[in-house]
Amino acid sequence: MTIKLFERLDNNEIIFVVSDLLDLELINAPQHVKEHLLKYSADKFQRVELNEQAIKLADTYINEKVVGKTSVEDCRHIAMATIHKVDVLASWNCKHIVNLDRIKSYNSVNLRLGYSMIEIRSPKDLVNYGND
């Protein structure tokens, strides 16, 4: 399962940048994932839409063979996060997204096309367990 939460850090606050693509993936997500999002108030969420710019960037990832054609939805998540300049894209998909070689390739395309690099991490890398 691929679940993505885009996070933008503003003034040390987490803002979750979410989309309709995430909504669809949450339908089949484990309950604990859904409950995690419910911990946050509505003002901690910003909604973005899939647009032509993101579709074109996602198609470029596919055309550049960063991943195969079956990963188009993953590419759209990454493209939306890139275009909206989120600080971190979190994903449990370690095969197609949270994979060092693929991250380098996504960022190579981004830089060549004038976009910023995207930081991609597993959600477990972003959770503060209070063990400071």
Residue 132 falls within a domain, yes or no?
Answer: no
Residue 90 to residues 61, 74, 84, 114, 116, Cα–Cα distance (Å): 18, 12, 14, 22, 17
The DSSP annotation for 23-50 comes to HHHHTTS-HHHHHHHHTS-GGGEEE---
Q: Three-class SS of residue 5?
A: strand
Residue 27 falls within a domain, yes or no?
Answer: yes
Q: What is the pLDDT of residue 132?
A: 47
Phi, psi of 47 (to 5 degrees): -100, 135
pLDDT in tens, 62-75: 999 999 999 999 99
pTM value is 0.86
Residue 36 falls within a domain, yes or no?
Answer: yes
Residue 112 falls within a domain, yes or no?
Answer: yes
State CA 79 to chain mean position distance: 8
CATH number at residue 81: 3.40.50
Instruction: Indicate whether 129 pLDDT > 70.
Output: no
Domain encompassing residue 56: 4-126
Strands, sheet with 4-10, edge to edge from the N-terminal-most edge strand: 45-47, 13-18, 4-10, 88-91, 120-121
Highest-confidence segment of 6-15, 30-39, 66-75: 66-75
| 1 band by pLDDT with thresholds 50, 70 and 90 | very low
Instruction: Indicate whether 7 pLDDT > 80.
Output: no
Phi, psi of 81 (to 5 degrees): -65, -40
Domain count within the chain: 1
pLDDT in tens, 41-54: 899 899 999 999 99
Q: What is the pLDDT of residue 36?
A: 79
Report percent pLDDT > 70 for the chain: 88
Instruction: Indicate whether 22 pLDDT > 70.
Output: yes
Residue 76 to residues 12, 42, 54, 107, Cα–Cα distance (Å): 27, 24, 6, 14
- State how far the Cα of 36 lies from the Cα of 48, in Å rounded to an integer: 20
pLDDT in tens, 95-109: 889 999 999 999 999
